[in-house]
Structure 1
Amino acid sequence: MVEPVSRLRLSLRLQAVANMVSRGKTLADIGTDHAYLPIYLVGQGWIPRAIGIEAQEEPWRRARANVAAAGLSHLIDIRLGWGLKPLRPGEVGVVTIAGLGGKTIQDILSASPEILENIECLVLQPQGAEVLLRRWLASSGWRLGQEELVCEKEQYYLIYAWERGSNPEYSVWEWEFGPLLLQRRHPLLGGYLKKRLKKLERIQQGLARSRRPEALARLRKLNLERQAIQEVLACLPNAGRS
């Protein structure tokens, strides 16, 4: 059962998401799971009310029970449904989605344009396909406002917040690695890129055994990415630490 609101502590990943949520705005947390995020935000008084959405009945029931145990059922509404579909246009100002795949998040957002057009801010923590989602959002009228990295149990998590607007003229590699992370020389960026580099090298080793044209083309693309990562690492004073 959920901890009392006064003692509830979020994971580093969810705390980073919570820190990016605009104060005073009604929130929709998609894939709310245990409903820890809305319970924390409402319990802290950071937002007036929240809606948690779950696609499956078992986590939906669990979230409802946790909200009731926290004494917040009058301020947090847990709804059963997929993505943004259970929402009404203009009902919330901020949407959070944490722990879902980047492509799934893109599908959720693109499936409900009538809801999305009224959203002021998106706070997202994709589980994979972070670059794909970043580029899609940038090409869909969203401006990257905040970007954060956390490392929890040796796993890196990217969290970013988006608002309506246009972006500066970032380069291809800035979009690839995170323009705001690069600007800040984020202390975890070196470890994050090193882990990405190791994964890339494993893929390269597999592709090197193939002579198929598409494999060779991808290998050339990965070589460019590898060179770009190495150049960024060379410029980071803390690249040896994670």
Structure 2
Amino acid sequence: MKISKRLSACLKYTEGFNKLADIGTDHALLPINAVTLGYVSSAQAIDNKQGPFVIAYSNVLKYELNSKVEVILGDGIEKIDSDVDVVVISGMGGNLISDILLKDDKQNVKRFILQPNNDSHLVRAAIEAIGFNIVDELVLNDNHKTYDLIIADIGKANYSEIELQFGPINIKEKPYFFIKRIEKEIAKLNKVLPHITTQSRKEEIESRLKLLEEVIK
């Protein structure tokens, strides 16, 4: 079953785990692929909307995986089984993902694979708060949009404000689309700067520009 670049990137980080829970599963494409490829033994496909739940259930039946992929109507990770050891939360806002991480019982989860649509800094802060550590990061370009992918395993972390904002591994490895995203912001700020009349706002933009230049150095 064909999946997007974003889901494909999430998929590879599930390999070697036992049971996957995909939160906000939509059509259950990720769990179906993970089980079919043998990356995990079984999976739970969870969505809180009736429409996607019905489509997910239909897809699981279509591929005759109903003995290995359980489709659940529910929120967050509150309904995951105790033997789930890897969780994917993809395609949601960073604020919602961080709320899920901070609110729900993590049970025996060993890895979170997180793809926020925005506010990635909130997700990184939540990862640190729940006793997980970022082990990999990707900046993906899918359908002309840029997305963060954050992989977190159990482990203590102590991130600086800059690391929370940009990502500790992104800062270190400076991937292509990470640099491109920052260069785009720099160009935008440089364009508006000459038109700013308020001194405080001007200083704010200049400070941001200095930080961005430092990050991609």
Residue 155 of structure 2 is aligned to residue 177 of structure 1:
no
Question: Relative to structure 1, is the Cα distance of residues 24 and 134 closer, same or farther in structure 2, using a 3 angstrom cutoff?
Answer: closer
Match of 2:154 in 1: 164
Q: Percent same amino acid among aligned pairs? A: 28
Tell me, in whole angstroms, the C-alpha distance in 1 between the residues paired with 2:40 and 2:32: 10
Gaps of 5+ in 1: 1-7, 236-242
Scaled by the length of structure 2, what TM-score is found?
A: 0.89
Q: Deviations over 1:167-199 (max 9, x none)?
A: 3x6543233212112222212221121234456
Q: How does 1:43-82 map to 2 (within 5 A)?
A: 43-82=36-75
Aligned to 1:42: 35
> How far, CA to CA, are the matches of 2:110 and 2:72 in structure 1?
21
* Matched pairs, number: 217
1:76-101 per-residue CA deviation (whole Å, 9 max, x = no partner) reads 0000011112224x231111000000
Q: 1:150 aligns with which of 119, 140, 144?
A: 140
Q: Which runs of 5+ in 2 are unaligned?
A: none
The secondary structure found in structure 1 opposite 2:79 is coil
CA deviation profile, 1:4-41 (whole Å, cap 9, x unmatched): xxxx2221111111112241320000000011100111
Task: Name the structure 2 match of 1:107.
Answer: 99
Q: CA RMSD in A?
A: 2.4
Note the alpha carbon deviations across 1:118-158, whole angstroms, 9 max, x for none. 21110000010101211222233111111111111221111
Contact 2:19/2:86 (CA < 8 Å) preserved in 1? yes
Paired residue secondary structure (2:92): coil
Residue 3 of structure 1 is matched in structure 2 by none
Corresponding residue to 1:190 among 162, 175, 179: 179
Distance 1:186 1:118, change over 3 A: same
Partner of 1:98: 90
Q: 8 Å contact 1:20–1:146 — kept in the other structure? A: no
Residue of structure 2 equivalent to 1:239: none
**2:11 is matched with which residue?**
18
Per-residue deviation, 1:221:
4.8
Residue 215 of structure 2 corresponds to 232
Q: For 2:21, what is the secondary structure of its paired residue?
A: strand
TM-score for both structures, normalised by structure 1: 0.80
Q: Structure 1 160/12 Cα, relative in aligned 2: closer, same or farther at 3 Å?
A: same
Contact 2:101 2:126 in 1 (8 A): no
Compare the two structures and name the one with the higher strand fraction.
2
